[in-house]
Structure 1
């Protein structure tokens, strides 16, 4: 009896211990589940699992005293409010300086370089804690003929709103400015106010990209932070960026870029519901924020393309990616190159809503700064990026440019191509489908809304393709020897069964039709005319027929001996009446007749 009681007690203890363990595991799982539904940082920071494995203490990095001092300030432009010059005698000087700088430089001189800003973060940001042992940063700021007060206000805002123990150094890179007060007066001001600031001066104009690289070479901190020279850092802007890099050193992070209005210096929030992207002439564009990312406005979200001016990245990861391509000149394309490299070579790019930095967006009528380059450096930069990283998608870029890139030599790309191979980087198709998956829908390249496109190859004579013979003006169309590239051949063999249901030179306004719609009629190019039944074509995938005129009894036929193409009554299992498109959009083609005009 005594032995039986002992066994029962042991069993009871085992059940109790198991129950406690199950309770703790379930409780832990609830925390993590809630975190995955939009409370990531706040809840994960409370979990024993997170804290034990990170072995890091969390800290509230807010400088409450500095924020209280700012709240008590008053004056022109304080708290980011709009400011105005009321003295009419200064209007002429105001206009001159604004035209020269792209913003109201005279007003900038009248606003305190230590002005206060509105804390426009989501309220949840004020409650978040970040790792207490964050890495140090080297802040790199290139400038060229920057207006003095805007430049030093950038420095003051960074110093005033950044924990001093996190700043290893601030490196100013002067890209051969020729403004007098950016020489000795700036040196003296920096020496008096900013002991952690060092100035590097170029002896000739080299451009933004070279200036950033020079700063990065000089930097010694664990993390590089690149900034523009006309910004204002907001409260607690740096810890949220560094926290993400500590979690994953292959993460590059960008603050939310707020707007400092060029005329009044009003500080306002930019639309936060967007991710970076591009169109097919490589203009920077934005994509909608994903629904899953709208649930928590404090949560960092994945961003396909950085804006380029403000970001942080670990020094180790930056140099593993080989920094910027040194062949990129002055500016332009560098944000695409780095964004592609980050994503395709094993990293990720995040925007961090709890990090805010204001940026002066120059007026639309600003003419910019003069460059001494005779060549088209911008399109050369774009071509270098496209040739190395965009794979066959580069042809969309080239098609939209209408011959610009054909005249440009991209230069030696051996080093960049070797880097891509060394890092085992993914394809650009992977980037489009997995990172910027909605880009093609919102910014479609020419031809992506087509039912089919590319070369049109004869099945019966597979060495021959439909060809304009270089004469797109009301000429007879023939077949000719197929070019090596099928999806993006030269314009003479590049066709599309377009969304207008015609068969045209891809991206052009020349369409195929016959002279009389009778059997054995030759096919010619005419000006495209939407809704013209004589220009309707359909691709029958089952028989590989190109069916003419909206009816099913006439099909395109190749005559290899004469190289003419004609229309004749459709015949099954007749190879010379069968054609292969380089690319067919089956989804669109399924709805072809539903979208007929």
Structure 2
């Protein structure tokens, strides 16, 4: 059905923001070339490559020389290792496009990937949209379609990202139509630039990586917006077997998750602490500015989010574990 879809004649343009740290040469080039080759030029305001203090030689002068051929590509570099979240924020702060589109540096965008995303934002500027993420095999780098049917983004009560079936109530007559999703998978999404900053961007108190996808997802839903996955927008992504760089010591995914839970999840944070008691004693840092933002935007509470948006999550991941149906032992 995607071949026959018609989009608005006038779509907003976008700044495409690609953070990277010690990325492989060909993976980064594949990302850039696929964008240039498969995106209407009029829709690209700029492509901002944000180098998070890489030390690999090919990402210095060689990269600068190579990117000269692309008029819309500019390279920005941090002065110290900032981590994914703050690197994205830096790119967003320099962007001039009407929409911000965030991609990872090891992707391949597919044919006509951008208009379906921009169309949804043009219809409602308080919308975050995510492409369907296909798989680029980390061994042979072949592009493979995402396995199975389209699914909604969800989470369990240890804050692991999950995918759950689209319930019948939300299924569209045309399965290629965008559908609501409670949380996003991670770093591939588009958002109206002004709306992103109205929401406060990412919480700058989140360190390096992790938890930011929940923060932005809860925030957009609870503060008057919505989030959609768009089946006609396909982007391949390399799921790496190992991280090709060192994460600075002293940073903690657990701290980020607790910070998000304390800011946005209200009494539901207790379900996380029951499963992860070690989180109780972690410091979140100062979250008063985040709480103030929530008040200023007149955001709804997390109970509303669970009832109105993520109402199907407890069916698969109940906050309170049901008692075992049976118990005993197995002998061989």
Q: TM-score range by the shorter chain?
A: over 0.9
Which of 9, 29, 32 is equivalent to 1:132?
9
CA separation in 2, counterparts of 1:435 and 1:276?
11
Secondary structure of 1:312's match? strand
1:582-593 equivalences in 2 (<5 Å):
none
Normalised by the length of structure 2, the TM-score is: 0.95
Runs of 4+ residues deviating >6 angstroms: none
Secondary structure of 1:130's match? coil
Aligned to 2:20: 143
CA separation in 1, counterparts of 2:33 and 2:256?
34
Change (3 A) 1:500 1:361: closer
Aligned to 2:81: 205
1:60-139 equivalences in 2 (<5 Å):
124-139=1-16
CA separation in 2, counterparts of 1:412 and 1:374?
17
Contact 2:255–2:284 under 8 Å retained in 1: yes
Aligned to 1:428: 302
1:331-370 equivalences in 2 (<5 Å):
331-363=209-241, 366-367=242-243, 369-370=245-246
The alignment status of 1:185 with 2:59, answered yes or no, reads no
Q: CA deviation at 1:352?
A: 0.6
Output one character per residue of 1:156-201: Cα deviation in whole Å (capped at 9) or x when no partner.
000100000110100001000110000000000001x211111111
Which of 273, 287, 296 is equivalent to 1:398?
273
Aligned to 1:12: none
Aligned to 1:305: 183
Aligned to 1:251: 127
Contact 2:167–2:312 under 8 Å retained in 1: no
CA separation in 1, counterparts of 2:243 and 2:58?
22
Aligned to 1:326: 204
Contact 2:150–2:231 under 8 Å retained in 1: no
The alignment status of 1:417 with 2:271, answered yes or no, reads no
CA separation in 2, counterparts of 1:178 and 1:261?
26
1:374-523 equivalences in 2 (<5 Å):
374-375=250-251, 377-402=252-277, 404-445=278-319, 447-449=320-322, 499=323
Output one character per residue of 1:45-104: Cα deviation in whole Å (capped at 9) or x when no partner.
xxxxxxxxxxxxxxxxxxxxxxxxxxxxxxxxxxxxxxxxxxxxxxxxxxxxxxxxxxxx
Aligned to 1:539: none
Higher RCO, Cα 8 Å, sep 6+ = 2
Q: What stretches of structure 2 of length at least 5 have no aligned partner? A: none
Aligned to 1:229: 105
Aligned to 1:161: 38
Aligned to 2:114: 238
What is the number of residues matched between the two proteins? 326
Secondary structure of 1:277's match? strand
CA separation in 1, counterparts of 2:119 and 2:49?
25
Secondary structure of 1:440's match? helix
Q: CA deviation at 1:329?
A: 0.6
Contact 1:256–1:272 under 8 Å retained in 2: no
Q: Which has the larger radius of gyration?
A: 1
Normalised by the length of structure 1, the TM-score is: 0.53
Q: CA deviation at 1:433?
A: 1.2
Output one character per residue of 1:232-287: Cα deviation in whole Å (capped at 9) or x when no partner.
11111111111111110001101111111111222121133311111111111111
Secondary structure of 1:323's match? coil
Secondary structure of 1:256's match? strand
CA separation in 1, counterparts of 2:16 and 2:149?
24
Aligned to 1:196: 72
Aligned to 1:173: 50
Output one character per residue of 1:441-467: Cα deviation in whole Å (capped at 9) or x when no partner.
20123x342xxxxxxxxxxxxxxxxxx
Q: CA deviation at 1:294?
A: 5.2
Q: CA deviation at 1:367?
A: 4.9
Contact 2:22–2:244 under 8 Å retained in 1: no
Q: What stretches of structure 1 of length at least 5 have no aligned partner? A: 1-123, 450-498, 502-528, 532-597
CA separation in 2, counterparts of 1:530 and 1:448?
15
Secondary structure of 2:22's match? coil
Cα RMSD for the two superposed structures: 1.5
Change (3 A) 1:198 1:500: closer
Q: CA deviation at 1:298?
A: 1.5
The alignment status of 1:290 with 2:167, answered yes or no, reads yes
Q: CA deviation at 1:218?
A: 0.2
Q: CA deviation at 1:368?
A: 5.0
CA separation in 2, counterparts of 1:163 and 1:272?
28
Q: CA deviation at 1:369?
A: 2.6
The alignment status of 1:264 with 2:133, answered yes or no, reads no
Q: CA deviation at 1:500?
A: 5.3
